[in-house]
Every structure is written in structure tokens, then in C-alpha cells.
Amino acid sequence: MIVGEQDLADDQYTLRDMETGEQRTVPVDEFPPEPGQSTGNK
């Protein structure tokens, strides 16, 4: 998870897959996910 100043201003987090380098943003109210829900990882 990456949280920068702009992320905080936009009420979001950036999640990065460290194996592939792929990243996506997730709204603050959707993270952490409910038990049993995926964060989009494998």
C-alpha cells in the first residue's frame, strides 16, 4: 500500500502488486476489505 499526500487529499490508497508492479487506487472506504473479499490480488 502506498499513501502519499495526493492520495490523502483524494481519499484513496494506491495498492501495488510487488511481483508484477501493477498498481491501482482504492477508495479509503473500501479498504481494508470485508473478510472474504479480495483486494484484487492473486
pLDDT digits (tens, 9 = 90+) for 24-35: 888 888 776 666
**Across 18-42, average pLDDT:** 75
Q: Find the radius of gyration of the CA atoms of the chain.
A: 11
Whether pTM > 0.85 for this model: the answer is no
pLDDT category at 20 given cuts 50, 70, 90 is very high
pLDDT > 70 in the chain, percent: 71
Phi, psi of 28 (to 5 degrees): -55, -40
Q: Assess contact for 21 and 42: CB atoms under 8 A.
A: no
Helix, strand and coil content of the chain, in percent to the nearest 5, comes to 20, 25, 55
